């Protein structure tokens, strides 16, 4: 269990250059400049830091890659697992040469769920058709012209993840019993009633249990046929590419949204913060855009980025925005304030000035729909 830090906002020192700053995580112990300029020599240290973070939860230090193991293809990590080993997410184990799925199969998911009254504080709320589409034809997407008061979202939290974010805002799932109760797609879909307007798969991340999410979404659409019902995904994007396509198509046909949390654009920063490369994430982002590029009135794809002091500020946002704008400047982008948490709980919260400079940088790179979320957390 991670206890709250007593060092919030105090200076930490970079192990490499010796620089002291409030914008250096004492757990990561490396500044942004050193990560970028000396990545190759620092990578073993970075991966050792992630291994230490994962050991606290009995998780593998990195995605296993043994030539003699059994391959798991349920997310983009593509673990190859030896006998007695677990996959990176902790939900797959090689027992006597065969993969044992604790959950995350088509019929079983390790998750929790709850109902969230609409309108809600969803990251995508600023472009959600149930809140912003008020022109003729709104009946295709929503139950009311404007916010759907009196309706609710079925929020499905998958208790596993394909990344290892040191700043995780929902790390509580790692403290849960991984052999605890699983929920079938049928059980989950049975919760949908006439006042349920949408379902959102998030976590953790749905990428490690994508088969269950996709199966549940299909059954949900069958149950709600003939009325508006939106399928949404909030993800880090580390999906198996084939499953990413299936998930995005379900959101596309139901006027739902796929929200990518783009942690960083620079691969070195992404690895330092999450333990995993972002190459497949960026590829998946482009693929999802292609699926929904003709649905202009309701965007299929949006992006968000957490503004982490010292690591992901206006310079990194500019790179992310340039990438997004190169695909389509109309893709919505939300900038989120950072709150000290998990292994980076000694960091300061995002300053309002940083958020405003990041907003300006994103617009300068050509993005036309940029939004600052959770403003109440800004310092």
> CA 333 to CA 303: how far, in whole Å?
5
Residue 70 covered by a domain:
no
Structure tokens, 166: 């040191």
Q: Which pLDDT score is estimated for 133?
A: 67
Task: With respect to residue 88, please indicate whether it lies within any of the assigned structural domains.
Answer: no
CATH number of the domain residue 196 falls in: 3.20.20.70
With respect to residue 175, please indicate whether it lies within any of the assigned structural domains: yes
* Domain contains 229: yes
Interval 58-84: pLDDT, tens: 999 999 998 889 999 999 999 999 999
Tokens coding 163: 């990344």
In a domain, 28, yes or no: no
| Token pair 């046909």: residue | 253
Closest residue by Cα to residue 303 from 275, 326, 277: 326
Structure tokens at 239: 């999906």
Distance CA 96, CA 45 (A): 33
Whole-number CA gyration radius for the chain: 20
Peptide bond into 119 cis (omega under 30): yes
Query: 273 and 307 in contact (C-beta within 8 Å)?
Result: no
Is 153 in a helix, a strand, or coil?
A: strand
Q: How far apart are CA 259 and CA 373, in angstroms?
A: 14
- pLDDT band, very low/low/confident/very high, at 1 (cuts 50, 70, 90): very low
Give dist(CA 152, CA 144) in Å, integer.
Answer: 13
In angstroms, the CA 251 to CA 162 distance is: 21
Structure tokens at 245: 């396509």
Residue pair 142/229 in contact (Cβ under 8 Å)? The answer is no
Tell me whether residue 98 is in a domain: no
Beta-sheet pairing, 258-261 with 301-307: parallel
In Å, how far from its chain's centre is CA 84? 29
Q: What is the structure's pLDDT at 121?
A: 83
Q: How confident is the model over 292-338, as pLDDT tens digits?
A: 999 988 899 999 999 999 999 999 999 999 999 999 999 999 999 99
Number of domains in the chain: 1
Q: What is the pLDDT of residues 3-37, one digit of tens each?
A: 444 455 579 999 999 999 999 999 999 999 999 99
75: which DSSP letter? Answer: B
Q: What is the DSSP string of 2-32?
A: PPPPS-TT--EE-TTT--EETTS-TTT---H
Residue 97 lies in a domain: no
CA 362, 367, 368, 369 torsion: positive or negative? negative
Give the domain extent around 178: 111-377
Residue 66 lies in a domain: no
């Amino acid at each position: 269990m991670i206890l709250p830090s007593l060092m919030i906002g105090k200076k930490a020192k970079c192990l490499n250059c010796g620089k002291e700053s409030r914008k250096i995580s004492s757990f990561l112990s490396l500044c942004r400049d050193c990560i970028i300029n000396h990545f190759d020599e620092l990578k073993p240290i970075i991966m050792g830091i992630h291994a230490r973070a994962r050991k606290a939860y009995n998780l593998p230090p990195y995605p296993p890659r043994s030539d003699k193991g059994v391959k798991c293809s349920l997310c983009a990590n593509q673990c190859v697992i030896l006998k007695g080993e677990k996959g990176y997410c902790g939900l797959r184990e090689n027992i006597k040469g065969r993969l044992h799925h604790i959950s995350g199969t088509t019929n079983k998911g390790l998750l929790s769920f709850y109902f969230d009254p609409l309108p809600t504080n969803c990251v995508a709320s600023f472009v959600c058709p149930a809140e912003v589409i008020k022109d003729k034809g709104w009946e295709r997407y929503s139950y009311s012209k404007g916010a759907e008061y009196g309706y609710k979202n079925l929020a499905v939290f998958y208790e596993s993840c394909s990344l290892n974010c040191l700043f995780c805002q929902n790390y509580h799932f790692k403290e849960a019993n991984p052999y605890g109760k699983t929920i079938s797609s049928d059980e989950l879909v049975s919760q949908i009633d006439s006042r349920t307007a949408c379902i959102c798969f998030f976590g953790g991340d749905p990428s490690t249990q994508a088969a269950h999410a996709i199966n549940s979404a299909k059954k949900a659409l069958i149950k709600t046929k003939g009325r508006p019902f939106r399928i949404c995904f909030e993800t880090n994007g580390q999906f198996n590419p084939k499953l990413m396509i299936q998930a995005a198509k379900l959101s596309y046909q139901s006027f739902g949204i796929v929200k990518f949390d783009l942690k960083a654009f620079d691969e070195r920063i992404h690895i330092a913060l999450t333990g995993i490369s972002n190459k497949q994430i960026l590829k998946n982002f482009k693929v999802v855009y292609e699926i929904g590029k003709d649905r202009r009135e309701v965007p299929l794809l949006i992006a968000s980025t957490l503004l982490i002091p010292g690591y992901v500020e206006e310079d990194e946002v500019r790179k992310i925005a340039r990438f997004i704008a190169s695909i389509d400047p109309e893709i919505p982008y939300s900038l989120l304030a950072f709150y000290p948490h998990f292994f980076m709980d000694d960091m300061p919260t995002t300053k309002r000035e940083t958020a405003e400079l990041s907003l300006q940088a994103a617009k300068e790179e050509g993005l036309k729909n940029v939004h600052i979320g959770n403003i109440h957390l800004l310092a």
